[in-house]
A and B are shown apart, each in its own frame.
Chain A
Amino acid sequence: MNNCLPTEDWSNKLVFVFIGALIAYFFQQIRVSAAEQIALVNDHIKDIEKFSDAAQGYWLKQPANIQEEAALAAKVRTTHAATTLVYDEMSKACGASGDKYRQLMQALFEAATGGSFETSGREIDPLRAIETHDTAAQLIHLLRCSRRDILSIRRIFRYRIDFDR
């Protein structure tokens, strides 16, 4: 009769299995969330590279006419728009470097679309092209460093992980 009913020993084992499954589920969710964030960071890095390339193309080419100027500027604007889509999310993903990320994103925006951007008397500006490339490189470096931080276990205890994403 005793063999058919769960004993105290059995129920203890069940509790351990349940807790183990819960912990495994928790870490799996963290892994999935981190993997999603890393994929987002990788895509963001590619978008920044495209924006930087478009801006360099803009500042290193003297447009032949107004149409060409508008086309070059439109390319810079559209590639920039792709980088801004995740601006808020990335500042959070960068954790402690969030402020530095926002600062560099603004510096990149300023370097690429400042000065005589979209103005009639716009001339080739190699210094602005270099500044754009340099700022983009710093930003990409910061994002690559943040990828390591996203994978870190310590981060779980430092920042809230949003499983609803």
Chain B
Amino acid sequence: MIIDVAKDFSRYPAGRVPEDGDNNGTRFREHILVPALKDAQRNHTTVVVDIDGVRSFGSSFLEEAFAGLIRLGKFNRNDVKKLLEVRCTKPHLFIFRDAITSYINAAKTDEQLLAH
């Protein structure tokens, strides 16, 4: 399954929670990413998130949408790494692709955060 962020969500994703606007990270995670990942898990396939059409991201959006999957216990890190692939062919967007990978690698669950 392919999620084209620009077409299926917004070219200008921004903010974390619904109060921050319609194109926030929570909405992307809950309405698009989680259902797609669950579907992929059931069918033993992968989800490709294509970020090519997006103008830019805020770090807050990316953290909420991608690290939020692990932080909120929706999926564990290994599952996310196995099920999710970020596609990006435009060199000026490579930094966002790298940032998504780094957020997924650094994400901690709320329990882990409390333990620290």
Contacts and interface: CB of A to CB of B under 8 A. Distances in A.
Interface string A88-115: 1100000000000010011001101111
Contacts of B55: 77, 81
Given A73-B14, A81-B92, A89-B91, A116 B98 contact: no
Contacts of B60: 113-119
Contacts, number: 71
A85 interface: yes
Contact of B58 (A87, A88, A117): A117
A109 B15 contact: no
Interface in B1-46: 14-17, 19-21
Contact of B20 (A84, A86, A87, A118): A118
Per DSSP, chain A at the interface is: helix
A127 B72 CA distance: 26
A114 B59 contact: yes
Nearest to A115: B60
Given A73-B14, A106-B102, A113 B95 contact: no
Nearest to B14: A118
Interface residues of A, number: 25
B56 A80 contact: yes
A27 B115 CA distance: 59
A80 to B, nearest CB: 7
Contact of A84 (B16, B17, B63, B92): B92
Contacts of A85: 91-92
A120 interface: yes
A78 to B, nearest CB: 8
A5 B96 CA distance: 67
Given A118-B60, A119-B17, 20 more contacts: A80-B56, A81-B56, A84-B92, A84-B95, A85-B91, A89-B91, A115-B60, A116-B16, A117-B59, A117-B60, A118-B15, A118-B21, A118-B58, A118-B61, A119-B15, A119-B16, A119-B19, A120-B17, A120-B19, A120-B20
- By Cβ-Cβ distance, the 5 closest A-B pairs, closest first, are A88-B91, A113-B59, A114-B59, A120-B19, A117-B60
12 contacts: A73-B14, A84-B92, A84-B94, A85-B91, A102-B95, A105-B95, A106-B99, A109-B59, A113-B57, A113-B58, A116-B60, A120-B15
